[in-house]
């Protein structure tokens, strides 16, 4: 904790000692109220919190009851055993980060223990858990129905059957990262997600080579609140996927199409036209800044070599938040040499008109 925070807590503790904390005399740290203890815990790193929970039974009970956020991503060796030990104690967790770095550490039994004890879990990061299989997804589906955010990127052991099962129970999902989950992220699984997870706002399908138009269109039709979708490396999708997103997901802000070489000008014009469709609704709000913030703000069309300058320029003209100028690149066109003439709306302002605006 910082020096200032530590000083404040020491002053508070001194007052408790002097005045007795009301009717209760406090002479040691173990006697401090739960409210103050949890305030201290919020200032500690996760390793120290775990150590603090073993100081005494009072601290253990207070921390186990009050702790809602925990990250074990720092653990490089015994994460599985640590989860098996902690999950039955920290039953009120809402956010749990188990991201692994260099080597897979988690087994299905650890995830099952989480699911059996942490029923209010909302945000779970299991990325790079290469050893996990569908058994983990089945357990999460049955034990953690409150999940709104799930990151299983790089979990190559999951299948589409496990993902379909999960979507049938975890219907509150809003953010789902499936990057690299080649066996899990199939059109069958995406159809199930589109049907069950109607609140979905963001999904990462990067490098899921089995994803096609059927799956993406299912998401577009079933998840109207979708505002971010990454389809980078989904080489089989065509204009039909983008057109479905443009027509049905009017709050779309970020779209990744890197190396989707079947995408043509039809998709770009469909996106541009969606802006026109949505304009009437936005103008009724009579807030100019809101209009400028609506629509696409990030688009990656690198290596989409079939696109032509007029179509992409039409898109830029429709969405002022798409920038090609230095330092503000939100329209990524690397690898598309024929698009070098495309420019964002702010670059169309002449020096004269700029000075006039000032």
Which H helix or E strand runs over 256?
strand 254-256
What is the pLDDT at residue 327? Answer: 83
Are 114 and 40 in the same domain?
Answer: no
Exposure letters 136-156 (e unless 16+ CB within 10 A, then b) = bbbbbbbbbeebbbbbbbbbb
Are 133 and 55 in the same domain?
Answer: no
What is the pLDDT at residue 328? Answer: 86
- Asked whether residue 290 is assigned to any structural domain, the reply reads no
- Asked whether residue 179 is assigned to any structural domain, the reply reads yes
Which residues of the chain are modeled with pLDDT < 70?
Answer: 1-30, 277-294, 347-358
Are 39 and 153 in the same domain?
Answer: no
Full residue range of the structural domain in which residue 55 is found: 27-67
Annotate 11-74 with DSSP letters as a single string: HHHHHHHHHTTTTS---SGGGS-HHHHHHHHTTS-HHHHHHHTTS-HHHHHHHHHH--EEE-TT
Are 137 and 254 in the same domain?
Answer: yes
Are 306 and 175 in the same domain?
Answer: yes
What is the pLDDT at residue 293? Answer: 59
Are 41 and 99 in the same domain?
Answer: no
Are 149 and 43 in the same domain?
Answer: no
The domain boundary, picked from 67, 85, 120, lies at: 67
Predicted confidence (pLDDT) per residue in 194-253, tens digit: 999 999 999 999 999 999 999 999 999 999 999 999 999 999 999 999 999 999 999 999
Q: What is the CATH number of the domain that holds 235?
A: 3.80.10.10
The structure tokens listed for 282 are 């936005």
Are 57 and 170 in the same domain?
Answer: no
The domain boundary, picked from 67, 91, 122, lies at: 67
- Asked whether residue 14 is assigned to any structural domain, the reply reads no
> Phi, psi at residue 135, to the nearest 5°?
-55, -35
What is the pLDDT at residue 358? Answer: 31
Q: Which residues lie closer than 8 Å to 157 by C-beta, 6 or more apart? A: 129, 130, 131, 132, 133, 134, 183
- Asked whether residue 357 is assigned to any structural domain, the reply reads no
Q: Say how many domains are in the chain.
A: 2
Question: Are the C-beta atoms of residues 139 and 116 closer than 8 Å to each other?
Answer: yes
- Asked whether residue 79 is assigned to any structural domain, the reply reads yes
- Asked whether residue 204 is assigned to any structural domain, the reply reads yes
Are 55 and 185 in the same domain?
Answer: no
Distance CA 9, CA 1 (A): 10
Length of the chain: 358
The domain boundary, picked from 39, 67, 95, lies at: 67
What is the pLDDT at residue 271? Answer: 97
What is the pLDDT at residue 355? Answer: 38
Are 167 and 55 in the same domain?
Answer: no
- Asked whether residue 20 is assigned to any structural domain, the reply reads no
Are 53 and 104 in the same domain?
Answer: no
> Phi, psi at residue 32, to the nearest 5°?
-70, 150
What is the pLDDT at residue 27? Answer: 60
Are 144 and 43 in the same domain?
Answer: no
What is the pLDDT at residue 291? Answer: 47
- Asked whether residue 305 is assigned to any structural domain, the reply reads yes
């Amino acid at each position: 904790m910082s020096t200032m925070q530590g000083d404040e807590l020491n002053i508070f503790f001194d007052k408790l000692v002097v005045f007795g904390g009301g009717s209760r005399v406090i002479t040691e740290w173990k006697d401090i109220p739960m409210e103050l203890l949890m305030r201290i815990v919020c200032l500690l790193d996760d390793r120290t919190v775990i150590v603090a929970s073993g100081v005494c039974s009072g601290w253990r009970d207070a921390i186990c009851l009050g702790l809602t956020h925990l990250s074990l991503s720092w653990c490089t060796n015994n994460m599985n055993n640590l989860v098996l030990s902690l999950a039955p104690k920290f039953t009120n967790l809402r956010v749990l980060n188990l991201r692994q770095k260099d080597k897979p550490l988690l087994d299905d039994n650890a995830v099952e223990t989480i699911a059996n004890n942490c029923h209010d879990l909302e945000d779970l990061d299991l990325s790079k858990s290469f050893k996990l299989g569908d058994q983990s997804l089945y357990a999460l589906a049955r034990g953690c129905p409150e999940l709104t955010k799930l990151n299983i990127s790089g979990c190559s052991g999951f299948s589409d059957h496990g993902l379909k099962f999960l979507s049938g129970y975890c219907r509150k999902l809003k953010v789902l990262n499936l990057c690299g989950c080649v066996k899990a992220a199939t059109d069958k699984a995406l159809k199930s997600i589109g049907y069950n997870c109607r609140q979905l706002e963001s999904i990462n399908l990067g490098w899921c080579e089995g994803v096609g138009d059927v799956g993406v269109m299912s998401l577009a039709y079933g998840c109207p609140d979708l505002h971010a979708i990454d389809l980078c490396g989904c080489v089989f999708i065509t204009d039909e996927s983008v057109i479905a997103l443009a027509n049905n997901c009017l709050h779309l802000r970020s779209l990744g199409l890197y190396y989707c070489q079947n995408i043509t000008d039809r998709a770009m014009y469909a996106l541009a036209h969606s802006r026109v469709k949505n304009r009437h609704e936005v103008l009724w709000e009579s807030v100019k800044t809101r209009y400028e913030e609506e629509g696409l703000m990030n688009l990656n069309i690198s290596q989409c070599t079939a696109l032509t300058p007029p179509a992409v320029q039409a898109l830029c003209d429709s969405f002022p938040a798409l920038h090609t100028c230095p330092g503000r690149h939100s329209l990524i066109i690397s690898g598309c040499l024929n698009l070098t003439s495309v420019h964002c709306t702010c670059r169309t302002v002449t020096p004269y008109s700029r000075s006039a605006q000032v």
